[in-house]
Each structure stands twice: as C-alpha cells, then as structure tokens.
Amino acid sequence: MLPRETRAFLVRLTGYEIEDEELWLEAVTHGSTGNDRDYQRLEFLGDRVLGLAISEWLYERSEAAEGKLSQRLNALVSRSTCAQIARSVELGPHIRLGKQAKDDGGQDSDNILGDVMEALIGALFVELGFEAAREMVRNLWADAFAGQVGKSKHPKSALQEWAAGNRRKPPEYRLLDRSGPDHASQFTVSVSVKGVGEAEAAASSKQEAETLAAAEFLKRFT
C-alpha cells in the first residue's frame, strides 16, 4: 500500500489519480529493500519513453540537424538532468530504501533519483499510455528544454550552496499555511538562514512554494 503522502505526491506530480498502487509502489522501491519487485524494470521502460517524448519535442520545436538534435537529446535525458528534476520536485523522501542505502544517502544519489524519475515515467506509461507520460515529461522538463540545462542551478540548490559558501547554517523551510480543497490547495512557505533573513512565497504545491521562496531569498539577500 502506498503511504498517503506518497500517493498525494504522485497525484500532484502526474496530474492524475493513482489507480494501480502496486505498480507505483514498485516504481519507488529500491532493490536494497529486499522486495521481490523494485523499480528496475519500470526504469528500463521509462528511459525509452522519456527518450521518445524528448525526441518528439525536439523534432517539433527545432530545425537543427540530426547531430545537434542528438547532442541536445543526450543532455536532456542524462542521469544528471533526471536527478536534478527529481530534486526539484523533492522525490527523494518518497523513495523506499533499505536501511543501509538510506544511511548511505541514497535519497540524494544521482543514480537512484534519476532511475526512480524514469521509473515513474514508465509507470505512468503503463497505467495511462504515452500521451499522459508525454504530458508529465513536458511539464517537468519545461525549464530544461527552454535551455537552462547546465546554465543555472535550481534555486534551492543555489541557496544551499550560498549558505555553505558563506559559512551559514543550512536554509530552513517552514510551512506557514495550507488553504483550499485538496485539488486546488495553496501552500505558503518560508525559508530562513540564521543571521541573514527570511523570505516567503505561495504556490499550488509545497515544493513549488519552497522553490519560489528560495528564489525570493536569493534575490533579496544575495
């Protein structure tokens, strides 16, 4: 059975109600748990679905030659890009890991984050088909596709690095308010760095609000 918070996360991430809970549980389960079924088969499938979705998108939007398209495709489907997107939506806490893998920092591993991101694409493809999977890919990869891959850091990562580089304590995020029905919730979040200041932002998901708050903090204090 999917934990309630993971189910809610997946509904926000995909934009669809989750039907086959065993499928989605498999998609977020790492082999270190000892379960008979883990994310590897779905990751294999999702990798191909992601490649097709991005290839189609590039073909639609670009008149570049095959070599340039391949170069761009490789960057957009790379492990680092998949992991960056997984971090931006805060996928890590929802990955099921064995104790040792969790203690070793598996929830923030590029390999694991990237694999699970692809497994989720594979699960959506299995449950609802290519159009649904393509829609999720285009939503999640929008910034990367627009040309930001390798050019700018995610605001939360940038703030974390700024705090460390300035010998400050790590940023602290706090949920200030949640309002509205489940299908149209509004989250207000604050982020603070001790001895520097605090910034707030609101959005339709907690992770988006945190991202906006981090961006506002960077704009105001750095």
Query: Under 8 Å CB-to-CB from 187, ≥6 apart: which residues?
Result: 175, 177, 178, 202, 203, 204, 205, 206, 208, 209
Q: Is 43 a catalytic residue?
A: no
For the chain, give the mean pLDDT. 90
CATH superfamily of 4-148: Ribonuclease III domain (1.10.1520.10)
* Most confidently predicted of 107-111, 124-128, 211-215: 124-128
- Domain 155-221 carries which CATH code? 3.30.160.20
What per-residue confidence (pLDDT) applies to 77? 92
What per-residue confidence (pLDDT) applies to 151? 40
Within this chain, domains 4-148 and 155-221 share the same CATH topology: no
* Domain boundaries of the chain, sorted by first residue: 4-148, 155-221
The active-site residue out of 47, 90, 115, 208 is 47
> Between 102 and 26, whose confidence is greater?
26
The active-site residue out of 43, 115, 118, 208 is 118
| Burial zone of 16 (CB within 10 Å; 0-12 exposed, 13-18 middle, 19+ buried) | middle
Q: pLDDT for 128-173, tens place per residue? A: 999 999 999 999 999 888 865 534 567 887 898 888 888 899 999 9
What per-residue confidence (pLDDT) applies to 166? 86
What per-residue confidence (pLDDT) applies to 183? 59
Q: Is 17 a catalytic residue?
A: no
